[in-house]
Amino acid sequence: SRTARRPVLFDHDGALDDLLSLLLLTQYDTVDLRGVTVTPADCLPAPALSATRKILELTGLPHVPTAVGELAGRNPFPLVWRVDALRVDALPVLNRREPATPPVAPSTTTAAGPPAGALPAHERLAAWLLEAGEPVTVLATGPLTNLAWCLDHHPEVEARIEEVVFMGGALDVPGNVDQPGHDGSAEWNVYWDPEAAKRVFDSSLPITLFPLDVTDRVPVTTAFAHAFGRHYGKPLSDLAGSLLALTFGTLETTGLPYCCWDSLTTSYLAEPGICDFDVVHCDVVTEGAGQGRTVRDAAGRPVRSAVAVDPDRFYRHCLDVLTR
Ligand code: AGV
Ligand code: CA
């Protein structure tokens, strides 16, 4: 309903699951999407921004402002994952119309990056927060680099944020980082920029956390992906089914399944009852072989963490929202 809409700023990092999350967000009548920023973490930023714009246009939200980031974390994502946004940007369902501006621009401008004079994501995010008339929810499905920068450079943004909803961390389960010199205890969004996560955790912002403990329980299953085929011909279900199809091969190449990490996190803004929550005290490890690990620590800050999930309710929610 119109009265219940909560203002949301969405900071994502352009992976398949981030773009599925954007698609969900555009359909929530509980959400007033005020802006979208793209962190150049698990993506190539130019095609991720382009796909973001096309999804907003497809869903009738071309007025939602976007910005692409330029701050980089310490531990780069594998390039084989980062190229996914190139594939999404080329999907037929996102290219039904001629682009308003040519994809390869004349020599005076660059083909990719933002227009000259556009603010980078961290500065845009700060400006949106400072301009907001009411407290805003920040949904972060990538590393917390932009938000940490805002806290460092504009401490007054802290009072403008109602809640940070963050996909990241691993509390009582193994991490998903498989890199030389790392012990495997970290989740990638925290590992990419551990200092940024630490900065946000050290603030007094209310954090609602979706760690691997719950997202491990919502893998992209064959049944879930194929279910969108039954609605073939509708743009939103085609896009959702295509994004899910592109996740396949992850188990075979990494030994870990592709999960609905970000989309589960996003679903909280429409159906908070899909997960159960507990207050967990924790801290972020920033150095050494466990860097990026989120650890339980009685002296650490309290986080409202998802601890249980109803997977069937989540899958049904996505199908309901995206096949209408
Ligand atoms: O750690 C999960 C985060 C989520 O925000 N990302 C993917 C989601 O967008 C990193 C990631 C972990 N494993 C991956 C990832 C994989 N196999 N492919 C792509 N990204
Ligand atoms: Ca992500």
pLDDT of 1 > 50? The answer is no
pLDDT at residue number 116: 63
Q: Tell me the CA distances in angstroms from 319 to 213, 226, 248, 315, one per residue in order.
A: 23, 11, 19, 6
The answer, yes or no, to whether any atom of ligand 1 lies below 6 A from the CB of 265, is no
CB 275 within 8 A of CB 264: yes
Query: What is the Cα Rg of the chain in Å?
Result: 18
**171 HSE (CA, 13 A, CB side):** 22
Helix (H, G, I), strand (E, B) or coil at 214: helix
The answer, yes or no, to whether any atom of ligand 1 lies below 6 A from the CB of 294, is no
18 is catalytic: yes
Supply 287's token pair. Answer: 């150095």
Supply 95's token pair. Answer: 């290219």
262 is catalytic: yes
User: pLDDT tens digits, residue range 5-33?
Assistant: 999 999 999 999 999 999 999 999 999 99
The answer, yes or no, to whether any atom of ligand 1 lies below 6 A from the CB of 254, is yes
pLDDT of 34 > 80? The answer is yes
From the list 138, 1, 145, the residue with the least C-alpha distance to 69 is 145
User: pLDDT tens digits, residue range 167-223?
Assistant: 999 999 999 999 999 999 999 999 999 999 999 999 999 999 999 999 999 999 999
pLDDT at residue number 3: 64
**12 HSE (CA, 13 A, CB side):** 28
User: pLDDT tens digits, residue range 94-125?
Assistant: 999 887 665 555 544 455 555 666 899 999 99
Contacts of 252 (CB under 8 A, 6+ apart): none
pLDDT at residue number 118: 85
Q: Tell me the CA distances in angstroms from 136 to 165, 167, 265, one per residue in order.
A: 11, 17, 17
42 is catalytic: yes
Separation of CA 68 from chain center: 13
User: pLDDT tens digits, residue range 224-248?
Assistant: 999 999 999 999 999 999 999 999 9
Mutate to test the pocket of ligand 1, among 173, 218, 250, 261 (most ligand atoms within 8 A of CB): 261
Which atom number of ligand 1 is nearest to the Cα of residue 84? 19
Helix (H, G, I), strand (E, B) or coil at 145: helix
For the chain, the farthest-separated pair of C-alpha atoms sits apart, in whole angstroms, at 58
More confident residue, 37 or 101: 37
Mutate to test the pocket of ligand 1, among 10, 75, 80, 81 (most ligand atoms within 8 A of CB): 81
Amino acid identity of residue 213, one-letter, is: D
Tell me the percentage of the chain whose pLDDT exceeds 90. 92
pLDDT at residue number 8: 98
ipTM score for this prediction: 0.99
Give alpha helix (H) positions in 203-249. 212-215, 222-227, 235-245
- pLDDT class of 262 with cuts at 50, 70, 90: very high
Give the ligand at the shortest distance from the Cα of 215.
1
User: pLDDT tens digits, residue range 140-172?
Assistant: 999 999 999 999 999 999 999 999 999 999 999
pLDDT at residue number 109: 46
Query: In the 8-state DSSP scheme, what is residue 208?
Result: E
The answer, yes or no, to whether any atom of ligand 1 lies below 6 A from the CB of 18, is yes
pTM score:
0.95
Rounded Cα–Cα distance for residues 193 and 142 (Å): 10
Mean pLDDT score across all residues of the chain: 95
Region 268-277: what's the mean pLDDT?
98
Rounded Cα–Cα distance for residues 148 and 187 (Å): 18
